[in-house]
Amino acid sequence: MRVAVIGGGVVGVCTAYFLAETGHEVTVLERYGNVAQEASFGNLDLMGPASVRPWSMPGTVRRVLGMLMRPESPMSFSAKFEPAMWGWLRRLSAESDIQRFKQNQLRLHRLAGYSHELMQHLAQIHELDFQQRTGVMMMFRTARDLDQAHPMMETLGDAGVRTELLDPDGAAQLEPTLSTQTPFQGALFMPDDWSGNCPLFVRQLKGIAQERGVEFQFNCEVDAIQPELGGVSYRVGDKTVDVDAIVIAAGAESGKLLRSIGISLPMYPVKVYSASTQIQEYDLAPNVSVYDDTYRVALTRLGKRIRIAGCAELGSSNFDLHQKAIDTLVKVADDWFPNAANYRTATFWCGPTAMLPEGVPLIGSTTHNNVFVNAAHGAGAWALAAGSGKLVADLISGRRTEIDTDGLTLTRYGDRIR
């Protein structure tokens, strides 16, 4: 089959790779000049079943909103009265119900665990080096943070994910470079989760996909999709191309493309942030990746650099850097590893990603037989990309999927997708 994948981020490139592996003729359509130029450039560098979770963890929405007036916060707003934004936040709050959260968490873990297995396989068979490290430690600054994380820990245990809850002394023993000046209540160590350089991985997988015949068309923005009987076409400028199937994996643009074919979902573009800086004192830099639960920020050591990723800005349609987000990234890095680097001189980045209130991506067929979706992975797309791509490739090929897709497809919305 001739398959067009719209989007050259980590999700789109993984999808293209697995489609090519199953014998399809694949073209990737990317609006930028190379792969991994938008959300995949600034994704959280964490991957593994324990490193992803919905934003809707009980108590999170109330806690985040309560931090909005502080100089640093995991979330900031650029539009105070935008109806779509506040409607999305109401839906997010509704997903904070404990049973809904656990259901969504288990769905994410099923996909993330599968994806992690595939990533390990890809790294081994292709001898990939994308600065990967093993082990992630989630830090809880306050007793309240730790208490609110118990539903997540219970769900991880139910899913068979290996974790270890550490007291401050145990965390300091595991990561001796942690600052002794930042108080915290405890840490959750996830020994099997990985961290690494997402853009580097995407570029490496792009090369492998090209060897398998995948064509990449850059600076190519799809203007329209037209489902047809027995096929589908897409339009770029004044050129229309017929293919057998299309996969929408366009990140923040996915919602617009879906609406153009009559599928309306509560998908909202969220601007995410990251920063990168050179290590100055290697003996004081992190060896284990750290995730600050309070501020939703990850710190990862990538070769000679430290990468800081996290924070979310809602209601913004531009690429301007929000000072509160920058201050939050700097604060978290200074709090945990203050002398490892000069974080104020870091290179800061922001870009949009698509998110759904439940925090679970959409994968598989749509209401049009030849149009498939692989979108709304949020800031944790890297942890889910390989599994999502393999699922879509299997579904297009008419193969039985290797994991249950229940709760991952459009069917979870029933009749509410229009």
* Whether pLDDT at 418 is above 60: no
Nearest to 227 by CA among 210, 245, 203: 245
Helix, strand or coil, per DSSP, at residue 197? coil
CATH code: domain of residue 410: 3.50.50.60
User: Where is pLDDT greater, at 375 or 156?
Assistant: 375
The pLDDT of residue 80: 64
Q: Give the least confident one: 153-162, 276-285, 377-386.
A: 153-162
Take residue 255 and report the two structure tokens written for it. Answer: 């919602």
Q: Is 80 exceeded by the pLDDT of residue 100?
A: yes
Other beta carbons less than 10 A from residue 215's beta carbon:
13
Is residue 26 a contact partner of residue 208, using CB atoms and an 8 Å limit? no
- Check whether 386 has a pLDDT greater than 90: yes
Q: Rounded CA gap, 290 and 166, in Å?
A: 13
Long-range contacts of 97-100 (CB under 8 A, 24+ apart): 97/58, 98/58, 98/151, 100/56, 100/358
Quick one: pLDDT band at residue 343, thresholds 50, 70, 90? Answer: very high
Q: What is the pLDDT of residues 2-56, one digit of tens each?
A: 999 999 999 999 999 999 999 999 999 999 999 999 989 887 889 888 888 888 8
Please tell me the predicted confidence (pLDDT) of residue 166.
Answer: 98
Output the pLDDT for position 59: 73
CA gap 318, 331 in Å, rounded: 24
Query: Would you say residue 337 has pLDDT above 80?
Result: yes
Place 380 in a pLDDT band, splitting at 50, 70 and 90. confident
Place 207 in a pLDDT band, splitting at 50, 70 and 90: very high
Q: Are 159 and 106 in contact (CB under 8 A)?
A: yes
What is the reported pLDDT for 66?
72
Residue with tokens 């990251």: 274
The pLDDT of 91-107, averaged and rounded, is 90
Q: Which domain holds residue 75?
A: 2-417
Among candidate residues 35, 29, 31, 364, the one with its CA nearest the CA of residue 205: 35
Q: What is the mean pLDDT of the chain?
A: 92
Q: Is 365 exposed, middle or buried (0-12, 13-18, 19+ CB in 10 A)?
A: middle
Is residue 329 predicted with pLDDT exceeding 60?
yes
What integer pLDDT is reported at residue 260 of this predicted model?
93
Average pLDDT for 353-374: 95
Residue given tokens 């109330």 in the structure block: 62
Interatomic CA distance for residues 264 and 251, integer angstroms: 15
The pLDDT tens digits of the residues spanning 269-284 come to: 899 999 999 999 999 9
| pLDDT number for residue 237 | 93
- Report pLDDT for 417: 58
Sign of the C-alpha dihedral, residues 269, 246, 217, 200? positive
Q: pLDDT of 51-60, one tens digit each?
A: 888 888 777 6
Q: Is the pLDDT of residue 416 over 70?
A: no
pTM of the model: 0.95
pLDDT for residue 68: 65
Structurally, the chain folds into a number of domains equal to 1
Residue 96 Cα to chain centre, angstroms: 19
Phi/psi zone of residue 301: left (φ > 0), alpha (ψ -120 to 50 degrees), beta?
beta
Backbone angles phi, psi at 374, to 5 degrees: -150, 80
